[in-house]
């Protein structure tokens, strides 16, 4: 007996727990339903607060906004090209990121090496500055190693008072090198071009003409040259100009003065090593910067001592072009690059020489290419939307095309050293495309009677409804593909007419997009007008249908429709006296259903002031349906 009571109590307890759990779930569901409804209602009010004024503005501007937007965008591109080059700056920032994350990067060709005067060399050979004899010893070691050319990224402007023998030894090395050893010089400030010591540019070391029939002697320039005659004769500029944001991406290879130019250290070394004229190289190169690999490095102390004292081994330098410079702490003239904020200057010169000798420089289209591409795509976008809102498939095509172009640009830089700097340009075009789509969505929202863009049906003002079913009837001679194109063109023209601003409301969304039923009804559009009495609503509907006929006919000269538009129309009381909301909705649905199945059609060109009025039989059917709903 006790067990039965215990079992019964347990069952009762379980039932009570289930009941409380169900009550809790019901309360949660009710709370979420209230919260969702409240949020959507408040959100809808907020959207209506700015969308309806925007729709009124769009109604006034019409389709003129699209060409205006395109022209403004092109105007900004032209202004940016002649001023700040913001698009260029954005592309440079994107380039820096791609260089960091790309899966492949070029390996050094082995034709260029760096001899660094590093901390270990300073510790081994003595404090900086070294004597000219030590530099001569380093050059002698490189000469015995069989290097093809040497670029010395160290300035030797003044003679040494303490070591004239060292000065003479270094000058003798320069003379014996017969141009294989290139020393550094620099451009003095322009204010010194009129001072004593300035020389005509055509007489400067290694100057070359950049134009046919260059005028001699050219403008006078002031240079800081090495102290020795042979060193001066075989010198080149060490000057490096950074980009506007301070990061060094493109390395200038020369400085131009009128019809003449002076080569940089990297260009002159590449010219000596390759046997080509310096004038045959471009004016600048964009280095294919490396993150995970670097040019061969060797410590200067290892070469001077003839054995590894700072490194594990001395690489074979035979036949290589070598750049010598300091990397020791406190001496390095570091500059920020896309891969390193403190890249030694000698490494930059070496990378530039590597780009010239190995042909590894990044190829880029002309600077104006991205501006022309952006301008062309913006104008095309404006034209497409000006003709009428394109189908939603265009969005997917637009995104896919942009992604494909970006993938090509990314792969080109990663695998082939080709950089199409179109990332920011496509972003700018996407911004313009999005603005056009938002504006078109506003036009569409008003055309389909979306409550966010225009007031909805008001029973006190819209006592009567006029409805028209438009159906495109193609010519029998059209095949399937031609029919698809003509139907798409017809719907585009129809959308353009509705978006220009009419009293009609287009009924869409009756069936799911791209379903088999949607395909069956793709050629059918229902328009609806509301008004206070029958005469006004009928006159409004007929007037706008005639305007639609004129609009469609006006385009036939450009592209024939290869078909005709037929209309079935009727007029109905929107709200009957003493009728509930449910009865009104039911009767409206019945009227719409009768319109969709109507076989009484006329050509759009035929005038008919909505003579297909409701019949007594139709009204009785509607009343019966409304009564059943009630």
Is 391 inside a domain boundary?
no
Estimate to the nearest angstrom the gap between the alpha carbon of 623 and the chain centroid.
59
Query: What residues are paired with 449 via a beta bridge?
Result: none
pLDDT in tens, 27-45: 888 888 888 888 888 887 8
Checking if the pLDDT of 232 tops 90, the result is yes
**DSSP 8-state assignment for residue 316:** -
End position of a domain, from candidates 358, 389, 416: 358
Is 345 inside a domain boundary?
yes
**What is the C-alpha separation between 56 and 59, in angstroms, rounded?**
5
Place of tokens 């353009």: 496
Task: List, in order, residues 6 or more apart from 271 with CB less than 8 Å away.
Answer: 263, 277, 278, 281
Checking if the pLDDT of 414 tops 70, the result is yes
Average pLDDT, the chain: 85
pLDDT in tens, 100-109: 888 888 889 9
Nearest-10 crossing angle of helices 265-274, 345-358:
40
For the chain, state the CA radius of gyration.
40
Query: What residues are paired with 564 via a beta bridge?
Result: 473
**Pairing of the two strands 464-474 and 524-531:** antiparallel
Domain range for 190? 107-358
Is 397 inside a domain boundary?
no
Question: How many other CB atoms are found less than 10 A from the CB of residue 27?
Answer: 10
Do 180 and 295 sit in the same domain of this protein? yes
Query: What residues are paired with 353 via a beta bridge?
Result: none
Classified as helix, coil or strand, 114 is: strand
pLDDT the model gives residue 625: 44
**What is the C-alpha separation between 597 and 615, in angstroms, rounded?**
15
**DSSP 8-state assignment for residue 307:** S
Of the chain, the percentage scoring pLDDT greater than 90 comes to 37
**Mean pLDDT over residues 213-235, rounded?**
91
Is 102 inside a domain boundary?
no
**Pairing of the two strands 220-221 and 199-200:** antiparallel
3-class SS string, 566-580? EEEEEEEECCCCCCC
Label residue 335 left, alpha or beta by phi (over 0 means left) and psi (-120 to 50 means alpha): beta
Classified as helix, coil or strand, 117 is: strand
pLDDT the model gives residue 10: 58
Confidence of residue 465 (pLDDT cuts 50, 70, 90): confident
**What is the C-alpha separation between 519 and 523, in angstroms, rounded?**
8
Nearest-10 crossing angle of helices 534-554, 480-499:
130
**DSSP 8-state assignment for residue 255:** E
- C-alpha dihedral over 423, 424, 430, 434, to 10 degrees? 150
pLDDT in tens, 91-129: 888 998 989 888 888 889 999 999 999 999 999 998 988
**Mean pLDDT over residues 170-189, rounded?**
92
Looking at per-residue pLDDT, the higher value among 220 and 578 belongs to 220
Question: How many other CB atoms are found less than 10 A from the CB of residue 426?
Answer: 21
* Contact between 578 and 626 (Cβ < 8 Å): no
pLDDT the model gives residue 121: 92
Burial class (CB in 10 A: 0-12, 13-18, 19+), 345: buried
Run of H or E residues at 165 = helix 164-177
Do 494 and 353 sit in the same domain of this protein? no
* Contact between 132 and 167 (Cβ < 8 Å): yes
Question: How many other CB atoms are found less than 10 A from the CB of residue 630?
Answer: 10
* Residue 118 main-chain phi, psi, to 5 deg: -95, -175
Helix/strand/coil percent split, the chain, to 5:
50, 15, 35
Checking if the pLDDT of 624 tops 60, the result is no
pLDDT in tens, 253-303: 999 998 999 999 999 999 999 999 999 999 999 999 988 888 999 999 999
Is 97 inside a domain boundary?
no
End position of a domain, from candidates 324, 358, 392: 358
Closest CA to 317 of 143, 70, 538, 512: 143
Give start and end residues of each alpha helix (H) in 316-465.
345-358, 369-386, 393-411, 423-447
pLDDT in tens, 572-612: 887 777 777 777 778 788 888 888 888 888 888 876 656 54
Is 230 inside a domain boundary?
yes
**What is the C-alpha separation between 487 and 562, in angstroms, rounded?**
9
Is 412 inside a domain boundary?
no
Is 172 inside a domain boundary?
yes
Do 354 and 462 sit in the same domain of this protein? no
Sign of the CA dihedral running 189, 192, 196, 198:
positive
Do 471 and 616 sit in the same domain of this protein? yes
**What is the C-alpha separation between 64 and 57, in angstroms, rounded?**
12
Of the chain, the percentage scoring pLDDT greater than 70 comes to 90
Checking if the pLDDT of 508 tops 60, the result is yes
What's the total number of domains in the chain? 2
The CATH number covering residue 504 comes to 3.30.70
Give the pair of three-digit tokens for residue 166.
């060292």
Do 208 and 353 sit in the same domain of this protein? yes
How many Cα atoms sit within 13 Å of 462 on the Cβ side?
20
Q: How large is the greatest C-alpha to C-alpha distance in the chain, in angstroms?
A: 126
Closest CA to 287 of 342, 343, 344, 352: 352
* Contact between 442 and 551 (Cβ < 8 Å): no
pTM (2 decimals)? 0.79
Span of 6-10, 302-306, 349-353, 465-469 with lowest mean pLDDT: 6-10
Closest CA to 421 of 7, 131, 91: 91
pLDDT the model gives residue 483: 76
End position of a domain, from candidates 295, 329, 358: 358
Estimate to the nearest angstrom the gap between the alpha carbon of 506 and the chain centroid.
36
Classified as helix, coil or strand, 371 is: helix
């Amino acid at each position: 007996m006790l067990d039965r009571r215990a079992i019964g109590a347990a069952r009762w307890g379980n039932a009570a727990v289930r009941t409380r759990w169900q009550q809790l779930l019901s309360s949660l569901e009710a709370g979420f339903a209230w919260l969702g409804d409240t949020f959507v209602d408040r959100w809808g009010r907020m959207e209506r607060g700015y969308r309806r004024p925007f729709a009124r503005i769009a109604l006034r501007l019409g389709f003129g906004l699209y060409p205006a937007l395109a022209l403004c965008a092109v105007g900004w591109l032209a202004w940016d090209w002649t001023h700040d080059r913001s698009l260029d700056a954005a592309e440079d920032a994107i380039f820096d990121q791609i260089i960091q994350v790309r899966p492949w990067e070029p390996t050094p060709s082995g034709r260029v090496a760096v001899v660094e005067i590093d901390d270990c060399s300073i510790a081994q050979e003595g404090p900086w500055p070294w004597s000219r004899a030590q530099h001569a010893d380093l050059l002698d070691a490189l000469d015995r190693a069989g290097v093809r050319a040497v670029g010395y990224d160290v300035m030797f402007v003044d003679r040494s008072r303490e070591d004239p023998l060292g000065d003479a030894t270094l000058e003798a090395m320069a003379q014996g090198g017969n141009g294989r050893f290139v020393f550094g010089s620099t451009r003095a400030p322009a204010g010194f071009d009129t001072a004593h010591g300035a020389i005509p540019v055509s007489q400067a070391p290694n100057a070359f003409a950049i134009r046919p029939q260059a005028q001699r002697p050219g403008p006078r320039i002031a240079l800081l040259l090495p102290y020795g005659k042979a060193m001066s004769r075989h010198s080149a500029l060490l000057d490096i100009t950074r980009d506007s944001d301070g990061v060094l991406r493109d390395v200038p290879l020369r400085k131009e003065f009128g019809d003449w130019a002076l080569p940089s250290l990297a260009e002159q070394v590449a010219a000596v090593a390759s046997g080509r004229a310096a004038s045959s190289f471009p004016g600048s190169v964009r280095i294919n910067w490396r993150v995970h690999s670097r040019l061969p490095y060797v410590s200067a102390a290892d070469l001077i001592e003839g054995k590894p004292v700072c490194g594990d081994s001395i690489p074979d330098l035979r036949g290589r072009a070598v750049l010598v410079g300091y990397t020791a702490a406190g001496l390095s003239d570091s500059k920020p690059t896309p891969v390193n904020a403190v890249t030694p200057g000698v490494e930059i010169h070496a990378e530039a020489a590597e780009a010239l000798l190995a042909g590894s420089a990044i190829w880029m289209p002309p600077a104006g290419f991205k501006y022309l591409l952006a301008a062309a795509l913006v104008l095309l976008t404006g034209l497409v939307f000006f003709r009428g809102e394109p189908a939603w498939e265009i969005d997917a095509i637009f995104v896919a095309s942009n992604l494909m172009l970006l993938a090509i640009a990314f792969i080109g830089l990663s695998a082939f050293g080709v950089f199409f700097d179109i990332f920011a340009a496509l972003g700018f075009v996407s911004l313009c495309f999005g603005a056009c789509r938002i504006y078109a969505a506003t036009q569409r929202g008003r055309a389909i009677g979306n409550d966010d863009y225009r007031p909805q049906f008001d029973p006190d003002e819209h006592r009567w409804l006029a409805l028209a079913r438009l159906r495109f009837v193609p010519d029998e001679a059209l095949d399937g593909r031609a029919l698809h194109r003509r139907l798409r063109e017809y719907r585009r023209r129809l959308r353009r007419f509705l978006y220009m601003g009419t009293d009609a409301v287009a009924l869409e969304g009756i069936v799911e997009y791209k379903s088999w039923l949607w395909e069956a009804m793709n050629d059918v559009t229902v328009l609806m007008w509301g008004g206070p009495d029958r005469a006004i609503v009928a006159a409004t509907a007929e007037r706008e249908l005639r305007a639609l006929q004129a609009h469609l006919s006006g385009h036939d000269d450009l592209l024939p429709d290869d078909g005709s538009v037929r209309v079935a129309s009727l007029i109905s009381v929107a709200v009957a006296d003493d009728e509930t909301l449910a009865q009104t909705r039911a009767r409206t649905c019945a009227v719409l259903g009768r319109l969709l199945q109507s076989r009484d059609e006329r050509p759009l060109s035929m005038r008919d002031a909505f003579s297909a009025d409701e019949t007594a039989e139709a009204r009785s059917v509607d009343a019966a349906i409304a009564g059943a709903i009630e």
